[in-house]
Structure 1
């Protein structure tokens, strides 16, 4: 009999394609035959926490394991309280380590981290980045299971040339530095007057307004789509050639994996766990964070060396086959059962 799972995470519709994993993962687990309850879709943070804890209290006898999406910001405290509730009811729980800033929590909140992660059935890291950091912090209950996608939903496009048509997909938030993409476009227009940028994602902290104001002031050809579903932005990706990941902090973002699957030339800042996902010069390019000159030059390199870029794109697609749910699900089934 398949395990009964209670999945705790941020199930807000406004974050439908961002780092949150619960929407996709709960669906594929159900397809595998697991009984899955999930929480929470409450917009109010206090109500969200109350619902998470309430469901544990209500369904603990009908739950075999709790999965907890775990990040490094406010969610860290949610995860800690959920873990304490699991401990009270003697429930096995598995944190999935998503946040690129989780290493700060390990050093700044050692007591809470030991209680949360040390007593888990297993801590699932999506890459060697967080695995190594947690290992060095003294945790042994660790397993690497990559973030996954349904690869069949991301058709690969073979490009004969790469034009200065840039795509950016993320939540508009300071830590993801969306303004860097706008500045790169501004620089590129000096060489490529046909350059353009499409930015996909919801507003979080006013960053979108700043980007919009800057683009309007300097008459830059930037399209702001707002929030799109995964299938929607994957569909428009065929009209663009280069993907920019401008973040200042990161782990192994799903949006980058998806862009690699779609055949976009990959250019990312070299932060956090990105060098575990993108190998510089082999399946994409990495540049220092907050460096608009380096990122601008990276775009030019991808455009001006199409043979090399095509080779990198093919290797990127080959790499992300390991992230396909049909591959990853075997590790999850083994862990859960």
Structure 2
């Protein structure tokens, strides 16, 4: 159904042209997130092969710190910030005609105005990456957005990291299968590995250390994890919890931890720029999201050799090693259900070790990032 994702290895060895192609990327935000981390990894892998111009629609540019010095990058102010509707589309169209990028690369629903404005600058190849849905679509897709995707993406190249999204693109958005490319996310397995330094600020309390790594947004549902931890602590299970990440939900989550009486067992670390060493300090990884597709945090935990308790969202079930799939709770379940997924992992160190080893082996077999790099390169190169 989907296009092939592997290429001959000689693709990576092409000489850099005298004038590198210009790729114009549009992100709803260039703060750190899954799509941004993937973009930076691809850009770093190929260095000066392409010139990159990035539009961050909310003005955030945190992810630029992840790019190496040999990646040509320009941050371009968004003309749509000066107006919306037809006037905003006209400004975007004018910018596209002025820049004439070799490809326009848009990300997720938040960039759909640019997809529409591209009609005012015909002839520019378009690649759209769709990584999932925000909290407003966690319970179901919004009909007007379904219609917009169906109409505006029919002649675009559409990249989908998850099988769940691929089914949406074919069955709900009704996009032509020849336009769809299923490219699973990949990971640097040398960086995320079980051996190496384990670095994390001291977490108060006693017992195995549960950790989650997430932007603290509503759809990550960290409140569910806090309530599950509180339930386990009340029943006498020893545990500690590290919430690694930053976001607008943090003050409310810290207040909830105090309200639940678990502040003495929880640490909010804030954002950690390189979390690889932090994963190695954990005993169990937990994901409590109400919506995901193919979360990088699950891949990172798998590669680190961690057992995982998670809500059954997106592709998580198929990503995990089969023995670990018993530790999933319903996508929109209760704290008791997530606690039930966590409980056996907290009480059995040998089980944690077995599941962690199985997850590492599956990451090695299925999610090496070089396959992902070559698949994206085939699309981003002119004429790809």
TM-score (norm 2): 0.73
For 1:1-337, what aligned pairs fall within 5 Å after superposition? 1=17, 3-12=21-30, 15-17=31-33, 20-21=36-37, 24-25=40-41, 27-28=43-44, 30-31=46-47, 33-40=49-56, 42-43=58-59, 48=78, 50=80, 53=92, 55-60=95-100, 63-71=101-109, 75=110, 79-89=111-121, 90-100=123-133, 104-105=140-141, 107-120=143-156, 122-137=157-172, 138-139=174-175, 140=177, 141-157=179-195, 164-192=208-236, 194-204=238-248, 207-217=249-259, 218-220=261-263, 221-229=265-273, 231=274, 233-278=275-320, 281-282=323-324, 285-288=327-330, 289-321=332-364, 322-336=366-380, 337=384
The alignment of Structure 1 onto Structure 2 pairs a total of residues equal to 316
**Offset at residue 314 of structure 1 (A):** 2.0
Gaps of 5+ in 1: none
Any conservation in 2 of the 1:29–1:36 contact (CA below 8 Å)? no
**Offset at residue 130 of structure 1 (A):** 0.6
Assess, with a 3 A threshold, how the Cα gap between structure 1 residues 19 and 36 changes in structure 2: closer, same or farther. Answer: closer
Any conservation in 2 of the 1:5–1:34 contact (CA below 8 Å)? yes
Any conservation in 2 of the 1:10–1:20 contact (CA below 8 Å)? no
Any conservation in 2 of the 1:70–1:95 contact (CA below 8 Å)? yes
Any conservation in 1 of the 2:326–2:341 contact (CA below 8 Å)? no
The 3-state SS of whatever aligns with 1:152 is: coil
Q: Which moved more, 1:312-321 or 1:195-204?
A: 312-321
**Offset at residue 226 of structure 1 (A):** 1.6
**Offset at residue 105 of structure 1 (A):** 4.5
Distance 1:149 1:310 in 2: 21
Gaps of 5+ in 2: 1-16, 61-76, 82-90, 197-206
After superposition, give the CA deviation of every residue in 1:248-279 in whole Å (9 maximum; x if it has no partner).
11111111211111122111101233323235
CA RMSD of aligned residues (A): 2.8
Any conservation in 2 of the 1:284–1:316 contact (CA below 8 Å)? no
**Offset at residue 25 of structure 1 (A):** 4.3
**Offset at residue 48 of structure 1 (A):** 4.0
Assess, with a 3 A threshold, how the Cα gap between structure 1 residues 105 and 219 changes in structure 2: closer, same or farther. Answer: closer
TM-score (norm 1): 0.82
**Offset at residue 42 of structure 1 (A):** 4.5
- Largest Rg, 1 or 2: 2
The 3-state SS of whatever aligns with 2:52 is: strand
Assess, with a 3 A threshold, how the Cα gap between structure 1 residues 10 and 234 changes in structure 2: closer, same or farther. Answer: farther
Any conservation in 1 of the 2:127–2:158 contact (CA below 8 Å)? yes
Distance 2:168 2:117 in 1: 26
Which residue number corresponds to residue 85 of structure 2?
A: none
Distance 1:41 1:154 in 2: 31
Distance 1:142 1:18 in 2: 20
Assess, with a 3 A threshold, how the Cα gap between structure 1 residues 249 and 318 changes in structure 2: closer, same or farther. Answer: same
The 3-state SS of whatever aligns with 1:151 is: coil
Distance 1:259 1:146 in 2: 16
Distance 1:334 1:239 in 2: 37
